[in-house]
A and B are shown apart, each in its own frame.
Chain A
């Protein structure tokens, strides 16, 4: 009886893994498998021929390259802003017990449990007045608002994981306050901060609604794909989907340990 249960269990786990991976594989197939895959019926489950034709066709579509570059620019800005604003706040929450710390933390959490993308609507109006409409900076700002809570909370638990005693030891043995930060805290925090940066990048790269609302001629990749959804040929859809997925999945793989640590999951 026990081995049947175990077999069922393993089957369940494998099934769930497959359910996650198969759709991605199919998108990759459509992206890399050549034109026939896209139009064939019934659909083949493995590539008939390897071809980047779909990709070149996709990239040749008017506006895709600029859209990708815009997405990259927006994501990079979002990454920079999130760290610049979030890391100091995370440090403050971790190291100082100050009046209002809990209120601040609660406020940060509140913004996470809120449909932030919707705020792009009034922002569109303000942006026109401020000259930020249809600019990468404008989109990056709202993306930063999305990523900031994560940046604060992740860096906060990151700095908490670096014992205060280490800084105190540095002070005793000759470092100034900033010197201790530079020599002890920063090197130890760097991997985690990098992970946070990448997470902010991914959030921005993937975001759809705000990007679509706030751009017209300088669209991000997601906004662009959305706008051509109904008209674009299937191979473009596949290639586009593939391009959306691949960087994100790779990045998340690289930083998974830090993300898990942030959410409190120990990897045995």
Chain B
């Protein structure tokens, strides 16, 4: 257990800067997800923390100790790799016990920790097999067990579930959450899947083009996104954005009159999630173009004021393509954004 501090880390590859002045504090015992699209720098940041890459500037501290120049093995951490990196020429037992064996722990401790980690990940019956005889999901468990066995101060995970099929991913997510909550290890988890981040993390750091654009608890990131990017990236289907004009501090939308924050002038972006729109007697007009019945809800795609919009309505709603219906937003859940910078406007 240890706190992780990332102070003003910069990483450039030649003329290309991949991380711009990134700072982050992960409190002891917390689970933080680094969430972002591919290319945003999240994996690079993780590898810098691990010591697999060297930062161009800035420091990394683990448990108050500056580890910036240290090789991975001296940093007191464990890592689960995206493709598992389970050693093919060793048995599962040897794999799980590898970290302890390298640390020259005595044999009884190695055996004990190996059994324990294997039991936690439900692979105790596979201990004498070779990775080639295991399925992808089983190999993934071995990778996690190997990390847990060393009881690390810090656990790093690089998109560990991305190579599993959807159902397995769901199961593993739940297992991981229960195991890691019990262990209380400080964890940094890299993913591009916002559902995973929302479900697993204590706090989410959303990354975009080499910067952390918002770092908060999941509900905060979901409800009060700091920018159009965050609003659009977190949540599925993504947040809608309507460009509307402001007349004397009031935005007219259909028959509604809405009051944006004081800073709004000229035009403003109104952000509202598809599930925060409901059919109403009076509201604004929405012309339905596509109706997708998705079982638990209907996803309507269409236009309002000439701009695209998606709406989520209850599954038994009667609505037809080509119809124009009236919608009303949940005013408490509107996110107002600046039309040029895309940043949220503070009320």
Interface residues of A (CB under 8 A from B): 163, 165-166, 168-176, 179, 184, 187-188
Contact = CB atoms under 8 A, between A and B. Distances in A.
A188 B82 CA distance: 20
B77 interface: yes
Contact of B81 (A168, A179, A188): A168
A241 to B, nearest CB: 41
Given A174-B99, A175-B102, A169 B81 contact: yes
Given A174-B73, A175-B73, A175-B102, A169 B79 contact: yes
B72 interface: yes
Given A174-B73, A174-B103, A176-B71, A169 B85 contact: yes
Given A165-B81, A172-B78, A188 B88 contact: yes
Interface in B139-160: 146, 150
A95 to B, nearest CB: 13
Contact of B72 (A163, A166, A172): A172
Given A165-B82, A171-B71, A173-B150, 5 more contacts: A163-B85, A166-B85, A168-B85, A169-B79, A169-B85
A101 B153 CA distance: 39
Interface string B163-196: 0000000000000000000000000000000000
23 contacts: A165-B81, A166-B85, A166-B88, A168-B79, A169-B85, A170-B87, A170-B98, A171-B51, A171-B52, A172-B50, A172-B51, A172-B77, A172-B78, A173-B102, A173-B146, A174-B99, A175-B73, A175-B102, A176-B73, A179-B102, A184-B87, A188-B88, A188-B89
Contacts of B303: none
A172 B73 contact: yes
B320 to A, nearest CB: 52
B62 to A, nearest CB: 13
B91 interface: no
Interface residues of B, number: 23
Nearest to A190: B89
Interface of B: 50-52, 71-73, 77-79, 81-83, 85, 87-89, 98-99, 101-103, 146, 150
A168 B88 CA distance: 14
A166 B84 CA distance: 9
Contacts of A173: 73, 78, 98-99, 102, 146, 150
Most chain A CB neighbours (cut-off 10 Å) among B81, B146, B150: B81
Contacts of B71: 171, 176
A17 B150 CA distance: 57
A29 B302 CA distance: 83
A186 to B, nearest CB: 10
Nearest to B84: A165
B99 A163 contact: no
B297 to A, nearest CB: 40
Contacts of A176: 71, 73
Nearest to A177: B71
